[in-house]
Amino acid sequence: MSDFMVILMKELKDMFRDRGVIIGLIIVPLVLYPALGQMVQIGMEQAQKETKVVIANFDSGNYADILIKTLKIAPNVTVVEIKAKSIDEALRIATSKGYNVLVVVPSNFSECIEENEKAMVEVYGIFTGISLGMKESVSEGRINAVINVLNEELAKLKLKSNYPNPEAVLHPINVKSYSVLKGRVINLPPSVVSGVIASQAFSIPLVVFIMFTMVSQMAASTMASEKENKTLETLLTLPVSRTAIVAGKMVGSAILGLIAALAYMFGMSRYFSSLGMNSNIKLEDLGLKITPYGMVLFAVIIFLAITFAISLSMLLGTFAEDTKSAGTLVSTVMMPLLFPTFTFMIVDVETLPTVVKYILYAIPFSHPIIASRAMILGEYSKMYMSIAYLALVSLGTLYATAWFFRTEKILTAKIRFKKRARGS
Amino acid sequence: MVAVEVEKLEKDYGKVKALKGISFTIEEGEIFGLIGPNGAGKSTTLRILATLLTPTGGRAEVFGHDVVEEAEEVRKLISYLPEEAGAYKRLTGLEYLEFMAKLYAKDNKKAEKMLELGIKLSGLGERLRDKVSTYSKGMTRRLLLARALMVKPKLAILDEPTSGLDIMNAFEIRKTIKEFVKEGVTFLISSHNMLEVEYLCDRVALIHKGRIVEIGEPEELKAKYNAENLEEVFMEAIKNV
């Protein structure tokens, strides 16, 4: 077995036995996010199950009966009529019997409609707890939908006598929406297309952020733990090239970082799918296609960005005295580099002022996001530029890390984080 | 053959001069002791010879190889035990020795032989199957010494090998060092325990404030200063510094 493999195997064994790492980086995202999603899903399912509506009808006219009949035939709605003398009494009955919604039909409801005035219906959502009010909001939505239908039906009924096609009077314009993407007309409304693009814009920066945070923390702590456990001096006097030590540690960190990132991505995708964020529209429906060549280019970009993150973090880790201060140091340096990537979620970088745009382009972590979009749109020239830039930056950082390992600075370099004095 | 040759070695840490031009040689098969109080420059000298630090001035060679120019060659010949060394806590003692053996021996047979010797030297028996995090300080030190010696280096550099150990552990370690000399291993030991060094070393160098103030065999030095032990020799020797 080569020295590199011996070191790599030791690194993996050492890291995978760290309960904190396993629980925090792998178990928690694999269990916590899906569990959270499951809870939200259960809440939403409950909300969709049944809406118990109680109606207090104070009107003796025909239109109140039509309203109640329409509500009764609406799906997933249980309607119960109650006799009450006042709204307060109706609310008391509804609350005591566990109904979610109270619909109050005032005494002048039918009269207003007959006299071509606007009639009023009062809807009360009854909150029984503080569980985000999902049940109530869904219920109110259903009542509103029924009332909208009723509005239309009543309007049509009235218009019928004077107009042969009341629908054309009510909705004189029909809208058929299309989207144009990369010069191609797609038979989908812009809202749907922007939804798909938004989900891409949201998920990729998030995944990039999580992945690089994980990998960086791993790499820094592997170096810092050598100092903390006082094993570094021994390691550096072994008959092993420093390159093998650096490479073994880097690959070990990358493997664990990637596993952790996958765990987070899996956990989060389960969470988001529970929230119904996954669209049924696929990229192919928008005329976009990810080619194997595009994927290869994207993988190269991810590899280079990870190389940069790991070598920089290992370098930072050598300045820390223990794993805790390594975490602080990495966060202090990496966060300002990672946070701007969120800009890609909300704005089109091309529209930003030139200086801001080039600052964003100078941050290596921007390139996986730029590349993910370029890959989808088939803009390979952008990917080539990202590869060239990342190769340059990664090699530079790698060289600096390797150089640092060959000098005594690896033992003597220190950045102290002063503890805040108590009472000061 | 000369195992170690140090000539006018200097080391500065910023404005602090840790070594001010020390010179000494160690013959092959010798146990050489570097003794002096804390901060005298013992560990700095050892770290330079172990290729960890770069000297500011002078030169140092191990079996004819320059510690700066031929650091990789030097690392093949030495085994270094730092004063405050630790082992990987999440590995078992056995896994730790195995890891080290694989890095020193370039084939499996040699690695197995080294491991066998390491197991014997550590004297930890079944406890080797436990994680290092469960070891006492003495057990860890024995594991580390076993690691340092199982590879049968040409030069073993041991910084305070018995520091913080109880009498029994310290005795065992001194006994092991004596045994290994018979197998041709050269030892460079630093200690502030002068009585221990007197018992263990063939020759000693007394170091004080980055300078070697005296060098020779313990008996010779005691006779020169008409002293009963090396402690007295040291106190007399530094009077003129």
Residue B131 inside a domain? The answer is no
Residue B101 inside a domain? The answer is no
Domain ranges of chain A: 3-39+183-412, 50-167
CATH number, domain of B171, equals 3.40.50.300
Do the chains contact at B54 and A407, CB–CB below 8 Å?
yes
Do the chains contact at B103 and A230, CB–CB below 8 Å?
no
Select from B52, B108, B145 the residue whose CB has the most chain A CBs within 10 Å, as the one to mutate to test that interface.
Answer: B52
Query: Which residues does residue A230 pair with via DSSP β-bridges, in sequence order?
Result: none
Give residues with Cβ within 8 angstroms of A39, minimum separation 6: none
- A242-273 pLDDT, tens digit per residue, is 889 989 988 988 888 778 777 877 777 777 66
Residue B128 inside a domain? The answer is no
B23 Cα to chain A: minimum distance (Å): 22
User: What are the respective helix, strand and coil percentages of chain B, to the nearest 5?
Assistant: 45, 25, 30
Task: Assess: ipTM above 0.85.
Answer: yes
What is the mean predicted confidence (pLDDT) over B15-31?
Answer: 94
Residue B192 inside a domain? The answer is yes
Q: Which of residues 139-158 of B touch A (CB under 8 A)?
A: 144, 147
Mean pLDDT over all residues of chain A? Answer: 82
Do the chains contact at A237 and B75, CB–CB below 8 Å?
yes
What is the mean predicted confidence (pLDDT) over A196-212?
Answer: 73
What is the mean predicted confidence (pLDDT) over A169-198?
Answer: 83
Amino acid at B18: A
Supply A128's token pair.
Answer: 């029984």
Residue B127 inside a domain? The answer is no
Residue B136 inside a domain? The answer is no
Residue B27 has pLDDT above 70, yes or no: yes
Do the chains contact at A13 and B53, CB–CB below 8 Å?
no
Residue A187 has pLDDT above 80, yes or no: yes
A309 Cα to chain B: minimum distance (Å): 25
- Given CATH 3.40.1710.10, say whether it is the number of domain A50-167: yes
- A351-404 pLDDT, tens digit per residue, is 889 998 899 999 999 898 888 888 888 889 999 999 999 999 999 998 998 888
A1 Cα to chain B: minimum distance (Å): 8
What is the mean predicted confidence (pLDDT) over B92-98?
Answer: 96
Q: Please report which confidence band the pLDDT of residue B32 belongs to, taking 50, 70 and 90 as the band edges.
A: very high
What residues make up the domain containing B12?
2-84+152-240
Number of domains forming the structure of chain B: 1
Whether B102 and chain A come into contact, CB under 8 Å, resolves to yes
Does pTM top 0.90 for this prediction?
no
- B195-223 pLDDT, tens digit per residue, is 888 889 999 999 999 999 999 999 999 99
Residue in the structure block whose two tokens are 């609310």: A91
Do the chains contact at B72 and A10, CB–CB below 8 Å?
no
Select from A18, A234, A318, A410 the residue whose CB has the most chain B CBs within 10 Å, as the one to mutate to test that interface.
Answer: A234
Whether B85 and chain A come into contact, CB under 8 Å, resolves to yes
Point out the residue among A3, A238, A408 whose CB comes nearest to the CB of B53.
A408
CA angle B50, B55, B61 (to 5 degrees): 55
pLDDT of residue A275: 61
What is the mean predicted confidence (pLDDT) over A59-84?
Answer: 83
Residue B91 inside a domain? The answer is no
Q: Quote the CA–CA distance of A232 and A235 in Å, as a whole number.
A: 5
B165 within 8 A of B138, measured Cβ to Cβ: yes
Q: Which of the pair, B38 or B127, is modelled with greater confidence?
A: B127
A259 Cα to chain B: minimum distance (Å): 20
- A122-142 pLDDT, tens digit per residue, is 888 887 666 555 555 556 777
